[in-house]
């Protein structure tokens, strides 16, 4: 089962598993939401993710 995060900016981040979605969302945050870097924990990111 994959994971998907629909970011509030409109970007959709898709990944195969928890570890991948966390790293991809962290990379997206660094690129697009630098003000949030360091504020989203792994649990926060997984809380945003939906099963797909
Ligand atoms: Zn975003």
Q: What is the pLDDT along the chain (52 residues), one digit of tens a residue?
A: 899 999 999 999 999 999 999 999 999 999 999 999 999 999 999 999 999 9
Compute, in angstroms, the gap from residue 1 CA to the centroid of ligand 1: 22
Domain count, the chain: 1
Neighbours of ion ligand 1 (CB under 5 A): 7, 9, 11, 32
Compute, in angstroms, the gap from residue 47 CA to the centroid of ligand 1: 15
DSSP annotation of 33: -
Compute, in angstroms, the gap from residue 19 CA to the centroid of ligand 1: 18
User: Residue 32: which domain range?
Assistant: 3-51
* pLDDT of res. 6: 97
* pLDDT of res. 1: 84
CA distance 46 to 19: 9
Instruction: Report if pTM > 0.85.
Output: yes
Determine contact, residues 29/36, Cβ cutoff 8 Å.
Answer: yes
CA distances from 2 to 33, 35, 39 (A): 24, 27, 24
CA distance 10 to 23: 18
């Amino acid at each position: 089962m994959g994971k998907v995060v629909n970011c509030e900016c409109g970007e959709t981040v898709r990944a195969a598993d928890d570890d991948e979605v966390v790293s991809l969302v962290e990379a997206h945050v660094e690129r697009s939401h630098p003000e949030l870097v360091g504020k989203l924990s792994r649990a926060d990111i997984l809380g945003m993710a939906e099963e797909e």
